[in-house]
Structure 1
Amino acid sequence: MSQPSEDSRTVRAAVEGSADRLSTLPDGPLQQVLSFLPSRDAVRTCVLARRWRNVWKSVPAVRITDVSKFLNAGHLMSFVNDFFLFRGQCPATEVEINSYDGDDTYEAFMCMEWWVRYGLSCEAKVLRVRSNADLERWALPDGLLISNYLVRLELFNLHLGTSFLDLSGCPALEDLRMKGCEIVSKRIMSPSVRRLSITYCWFGPSERTQLSFPYRTPLLEIMPLLASAFVRLHTCLDCCDKMYETGNCGDSTCEGCPDSNYGNKTCLLEGLSASTSLELISAQTEFIFRKDLMRCPEFPKLKNLLLNEWCLTPNLGALDCFLQHAPVLEKLILQFHEVHVDLVENGAKYDMATEPVALEHLTVEVKCHEVDERISRILDFLDCSGVPSGKIKILPAPKLIKGSKAPWSSA
């Protein structure tokens, strides 16, 4: 028998040296690696080798993403239904479900409810649901979200009905994020949410939703476990045509004032009163934050606070009131831009604390383009309030949100 040539031995050594090192990983790390892939790509690994044949079934993440790569909604639906059928009820820590992004919303949404139910049945801790249709949002069915395992919920471009917003059926839920959603509920309830983010959502103009933006600013229920909150009011109707500081101008033709009364409750601040960190951003003409300060709650845990132009009032009563109700506040950031309007003080009676709060422990950052008259007034106010000059920094104002003319900065 002839001996192998040196060239053939070199080729064989090269092939052996290029062995599938990924396949040598134990099941756990291998499944974790595959969990970062869209589920369609994870399934395709079954043809790599015998070892890979069933690995995709136990990957701890379900990702129905990259939906534009499917031929049509029916193609996506066929894959997902078969995928769930063959995968079975293997637990999945993270589930991400996207609808098809074509014009046929009926077919694109046909199986969305079943897909979400499947994700919850896999004991998902993180659930993301996104409606990609251009012409219509998928309506999340009432009572669908019930899970003892769900910790984080992210909803994008959905139409959210009434019962959904009672999240008491998810007792472990801590993080709720909604973006681009249309919310028609009158109330949002969750006994467990600690972190809340609602951005670019739409709400009806006739009635306040108890939690959301932007038309009528919502009524926030008390959330005792909320640790931090960022609230930016954008394009809401809560503005006085006569520029009254806290609304209630008495003019029946004013679009913002007639519907701005909501009893003895605050609209937002009471719901945020348990926070340790707050960022409250609003156009100066929008009076919701100032109106809330007329019946201001205590902020016994608040340590970090960021405000912008809305706190600039004729006598700085809004800023003074807020500080007097935050006895342990450690850091205050004031962000101001060049846009400024003169408010009318008429009728503004803030709920001041019975005894002034000492502010000598407070550190302040004032971010502005220049130290003009309004900044000088604030510096004088802080000095009279007992804040040492050494604890006040003047810094450049941050840039406005790209492409936005809104008179407030990005946080």
Structure 2
Amino acid sequence: MDHLLVLRDRAADLDAAEIRFDRFSVADDEAYVNLWTRFAVMSRVRDLTLHIGASSYLDLDNLPLVSQHLRVMNLDGLSLQQKFLDLAGCPALEVLNIQHCDISVGRISSRSLKHLSLRSCRSNSNCWVHVSAPGLVSLVLLRFGGTTPFLENMALLETARLDLSDDFDVCFDYDSDENSVPFNKDDSGDSVLLGALSGAKHLELVSAFQNFVFRRDLRQCPTFSKLKTLLLNEDWSEAPDLDALACILKHSPVLEKLTLQLFTNKGPKQEMKMKGSYSSAERPAAISEHLKVVEVQCNVVNQGVFKVLKFLCAFNIRFSFE
């Protein structure tokens, strides 16, 4: 069984390979997983899945992947190193899903990648994890532990979903120059997150405002010139005077739909929705004149919800329960 993939006739292309372990032995299984991975790539695999369900990460060899055929790769429960995530040798790769992995690298790079998902990953690296994928169309970044990933130019991005957990912005080596972002005296500098997202058409920003780097990006907020739909959560209603909400609305000139999820753990589990729209033909200059629907989702109408409704009513938006 250990040599089944190795003995396979490599003259025939491999459509998909899936390697799964619920537990593994470092001494025995780690070498086999690395061997099978290389043989799958040598067999011109198009869809590769490596899933380790154990409580510890399995170390993949720090060797580059080189394949003209690999299009989809799913990685789960692995420790990934720099050379493996330099994907220049995989010019056909379009989909990369990474989940529950240790990403202690300085850069994830691919010019061909169109869809990238990073879920429940972490980085113990002493420097930023730069994401360089200029052809990216969709991005999912959920609950990444460690230093906030630095998103480089994503001019083709259409959809992004970010959930910035409380584990963001942990600095393991604060004396290192690699851990710094250029700042000017006026608090401006290179954008870590928002600059790369500014061309997206659809955005979900959850648990974002508590993140230091995100708040700093917001102070030099870019214009979201193509943004049509925007989803925000209750964190955006907790900021003083709703400054963050006002800022992102001001910089979204073609926004058509705004969804606010204002849920609280203290209320009932039952969900209610309110929908709002402009009450007159007169559109305020402070927010998008194209805004057609504002949807407020909550489980209780508390002070925070009232504050948001009052804020939005100042722009001639009126609400009704569904």
TM-score, length basis structure 2: 0.76
- Give the structure 1 partner of residue 109 of structure 2: 189
**DSSP 3-state at the match of 2:296:** strand
For the pair 1:383 / 2:313, whether they are aligned, the reply is yes
- Give the structure 2 partner of residue 101 of structure 1: 23
The 2-side partners of 1:339 and 1:132 are apart by 30
Which has the larger helix fraction? 1
Q: How many residues align?
A: 279
Q: 1:294 to 1:280 in 2, by over 3 A?
A: same
Q: 1:176 to 1:105 in 2, by over 3 A?
A: same
Offset from partner CA, 1:10-55 (integer Å, 9 cap, x none): xxxxxxxxxxxxxxxxxxxxxxxxxxxxxxxxxxxxxxxxxxxxxx
- Give the structure 2 partner of residue 87 of structure 1: 9
- TM-superposed CA distance for 1:261, in Å, is 5.5
Q: Please, which runs of 5 or more residues in structure 1 have no aligned partner?
A: 1-78, 240-258, 341-354, 396-411
- Give the structure 1 partner of residue 292 of structure 2: 362
Contact 2:107 2:130 in 1 (8 A): yes
Contact 1:191 1:223 in 2 (8 A): no
- TM-superposed CA distance for 1:356, in Å, is 3.9
For the pair 1:304 / 2:229, whether they are aligned, the reply is yes
Offset from partner CA, 1:82-140 (integer Å, 9 cap, x none): 343133331122221235723x2121011323322222233322211123454442224
Amino acid of the residue matched to residue 127 of structure 2? E
Contact 1:113 1:141 in 2 (8 A): no
Q: 1:238 to 1:118 in 2, by over 3 A?
A: closer
For the pair 1:373 / 2:295, whether they are aligned, the reply is no
The 2-side partners of 1:393 and 1:331 are apart by 16
- Give the structure 2 partner of residue 127 of structure 1: 48
Alignment of 1:208-219 (within 5 A): 208-211=128-131, 213-219=144-150
The 1-side partners of 2:320 and 2:71 are apart by 39
Given candidates 281, 291, 299, the residue that maps to 2:216 is 291
- Give the structure 1 partner of residue 71 of structure 2: 151
- Give the structure 1 partner of residue 92 of structure 2: 172
Larger CA Rg, structure 1 vs 2: 1
**DSSP 3-state at the match of 1:316:** helix
The 1-side partners of 2:290 and 2:8 are apart by 65
The 2-side partners of 1:129 and 1:182 are apart by 14
Q: 1:277 to 1:202 in 2, by over 3 A?
A: same
- Give the structure 2 partner of residue 23 of structure 1: none
Alignment of 1:252-401 (within 5 A): 262-263=182-183, 264-282=189-207, 285-312=210-237, 313-338=239-264, 356-386=286-316, 388-389=317-318, 392=319
Contact 2:181 2:190 in 1 (8 A): no
Q: 1:167 to 1:124 in 2, by over 3 A?
A: same
The 2-side partners of 1:260 and 1:364 are apart by 38
The 1-side partners of 2:92 and 2:191 are apart by 28
- TM-superposed CA distance for 1:180, in Å, is 0.8
Amino acid of the residue matched to residue 277 of structure 1? H
Q: 1:171 to 1:384 in 2, by over 3 A?
A: farther
- TM-superposed CA distance for 1:197, in Å, is 1.4
**Identity score, percent:** 33
- Give the structure 2 partner of residue 406 of structure 1: none
Q: Please, which runs of 5 or more residues in structure 2 have no aligned partner?
A: 132-140, 171-178, 184-188, 267-284
Contact 1:99 1:108 in 2 (8 A): no
Offset from partner CA, 1:381-404 (integer Å, 9 cap, x none): 223335x42xx5657xxxxxxxxx
Given candidates 165, 168, 172, the residue that maps to 1:234 is 165
Amino acid of the residue matched to residue 280 of structure 1? L
Q: Per chain length, whose mean CA-contact separation is higher, i.e. which structure has more relative contact order (CA < 8 Å, sep 6+)?
A: 2
- TM-superposed CA distance for 1:260, in Å, is 8.0
Which has the larger strand fraction? 2
**DSSP 3-state at the match of 2:44:** coil
Contact 1:151 1:175 in 2 (8 A): yes
Alignment RMSD, CA only? Answer: 2.8
Amino acid of the residue matched to residue 231 of structure 1? L
The 1-side partners of 2:46 and 2:87 are apart by 15
TM-score, length basis structure 1: 0.61
Amino acid of the residue matched to residue 306 of structure 2? S
Q: 1:394 to 1:138 in 2, by over 3 A?
A: farther
Q: 1:194 to 1:393 in 2, by over 3 A?
A: farther
- TM-superposed CA distance for 1:170, in Å, is 2.1
